[in-house]
Amino acid sequence: MLDADDLITLVRHYNPKSDCKLIRRAYEYGRQMHDGQFRQSGEPYFSHPASVAAILTEQNLDDATIVTALLHDTIEDTRSTYSEIEREFGHEIAELVDGVTKLTNLQLSSTETKQAENFRKLFMAMSKDMRVILVKLADRLHNMRTIKSMKAEKQAQKARETMDIFAPLAGRMGMQSMREELEDLSFRVLNSEARSSIIRRFITLQRETGDVIQKITDDIETELEKAGIEAEVFGRAKKPYSIWRKMQEKDQGFSRLSDIYGFRIVTNSESDCYRVLGAIHQRWRAVPGRFKDYISQPKSNGYRSIHTTVSGRDGKRVEVQIRTWQMHEVAESGVAAHWSYRDGVRAENPFAVDPAKWIASLTERFDTAEDHDEFLEHVKLEMYSDQVFCFTPKGEVVKLPRGATPLDFAYAIHTRIGDSCVGAKVDHIRVPLWTRLKNGQSIEIMTAEGQRPQATWVDIVATGRAKAAIRRSLREEDRERFIKLGRELARVAFEHVGRKSTDKALRTAANALQLKDADELLARLGSAELTAREVVEAVYPDLVAKQGDEIDAARAVVGLEPDQTFRRAACCQPVPGERIVGISYRGRGVMIHAIDCPALEEFEDQSNRWVDLHWHSGVHPAVHTVSFDLTIANGAGVLGRICTLIGEQGANISDLHFLDRKPDFYRLIIEVDLRDVEHLHSVMLALEAESDVASISRHRDLDRKP
């Protein structure tokens, strides 16, 4: 465990004027408060706060933040109180410790509604003092570094939370090295096999090609020397998670992935940055569409750098970042650079953003969000770095997430513009509304009176704001139709558990789900924003729980080890009576596929992971969800009859959503809970016999792989 003298030495390295007595007093107080407490690894608990403080010294942070790290768990886990800490260490430190305690008590892994509220609390805490979140990030980093001592289930929960919230938050704050380490540590837990595979391939690549990084570094240094530019070059292979994410996004194997190396060139002046860029582009061919100038267009967290990708040695793509030393400091520390000390004084970095202004701009925009979808989209837009910057015809910049379309652009300007959009021009050329926008493009939106959002727009747009606005408009336009459909879905769902969907039951469900009234509940049910199961569960949770608990996980499938768990693959949705095979995952049990599932092809060379399984011969309850792809006539009462027909077969509709709406036919996906393959065939036969059903097939979504 790091002792007080070692910690003080780390602080005095960048701040010789630090208050050593204060740090030593906080160290002894924290150790005394945690005396007798131990981590799951068996170490004394206080080794954790001491390590968190050490992590924060890497950011050259002030004494108050270091002391807060030493005390951050005292109010939560010991007999210490806010008043005592305020008396011993002052108001500022007491407020910081209290802020970290409140963040710790937030349950960030939850439903979207709760998650939106937790994000609001998170940013409110940040708005009071950003150092609270810096301590929390360091706390999470040390917990992830020592996560192996936790139970497997807890490891997975913490890793998902880190990947979803803390890693992107660190990235949004500009703390890139911390973000990368958090991602990699989470990746090790969530997909250890993929990570190990990438590392093994890296080792093989190095063996075959030699030290490529040193060779390319030498090439760059030679070009800079020719141009008479003084700069330092740093090269590295990208992190396993970054490579894996690129493989997923581009749907490419490791051998086809080219830009797996990254290089930073740090110069003494801004003008040298552009001279370096010229030298690099003169020597190597630039890759189109891979140039970003964050010096002339800085990110809101103060990040400045030039990014370019070139075809380097042997045709390998190489990503190059060019920046000055001051820009580099902000790139590594992000918003934390505001509190950095150097030689005993607060470092004056012209590129360090004022945290108070930055967080105020965030919270101001979040406060204007109309609903949870829109708020969470604001959060993701601010936290994730994959963004595109487009221009209005007047030259104003509009920031959107990568993958956004002209429709997202229209709704970002104003809901009225989005609702009445009939077309768009990108760089003065007419393009389809589903076109993906790129950095620097100029967008012109064409509108027409009387135009209304189309149902297919929901699948075109990428932002939560646009999706929420489109759904709201569709809900208002089709409200009566959705209420009728919702009433029929509710009737079938309640009858399935032996109850009736009375007006009182619907009002009770609406109150439980915090909706305005029964009509609002039915409209959302009919538009597939709520599932029938959620509505029934709101009134009769015991009946739904009883149905869900009937299946015995130990007896449903034969062939598992005593301690193995199983899940049905979402891609093929096997049901009892079908031939099945299992694929084992370390720490995640066994995934069951139908024997003819195309997804099994990727496991052909991994025979050690195949598990021979079959369904238990006993009677299975109707809890196995299967998706049907239906095309039905667009006529009065048709969908209601379909729902009734499914209910008459003893099956329950768990979800429903439309793929396409035409004047004569609808195409939709219906998810139905079934017992076994015979039950599946009986439902399909009943639907095929219905005259208004044009076609029915079993929907298998190969994009939904485990």
pLDDT, tens digit, for every residue of 381-408?
444 445 677 888 887 778 787 788 999 9
DSSP 38: B
pLDDT at 358: 59
507-535 b/e with 16+ CB inside 10 Å = b? Answer: ebbbeebebeebbbbbbbbbbbebbbbbb
Burial 268-298 (b: 16+ CB within 10 A, else e): eeeebbbbbbebbeebbeebeeebbbbbeeb
Q: Tell me what pLDDT residue 336 has.
A: 65
Q: What is the pLDDT of residue 362?
A: 57
pLDDT of residue 348: 58
| Positions in the chain short of pLDDT 50 | 110-113, 255-256, 368-370, 381-385, 548-550, 553
What is the torsional sign of CA 438, 305, 131, 161?
A: positive
Give the pLDDT confidence score for residue 50 in this predicted structure: 93
Q: What's the one-letter identity of residue 687? A: L
pLDDT of residue 231: 92
Q: What pairs with residue 261 in β-bridges?
A: 237, 318
Per-residue pLDDT, 624: 83
Distance CA 379, CA 463 (A): 11
Contacts of residue 492, defined as CB under 8 A and 6 or more positions apart, other chains included, come to 532, 643, 644, 646, 647, 652, 653
CA distance 458 to 456: 5
Residue 189 · residue 150 · CB < 8 Å: no
Domains and CATH numbers, the chain: 4-190 (1.10.3210.10), 193-346 (3.30.460.10), 364-468 (3.10.20.30), 478-549 (no CATH), 551-706 (3.30.70.260)
CA distance 73 to 34: 9
d(CA 133, CA 166): 10
Contact 276, 226 (CB under 8 A): no
Give the containing element (helix H, strand E) for 287.
none
Catalytic residue ranges = 76-77
pLDDT at 628: 92
Using an 8 Å Cβ cutoff, are 693 and 490 in contact? no
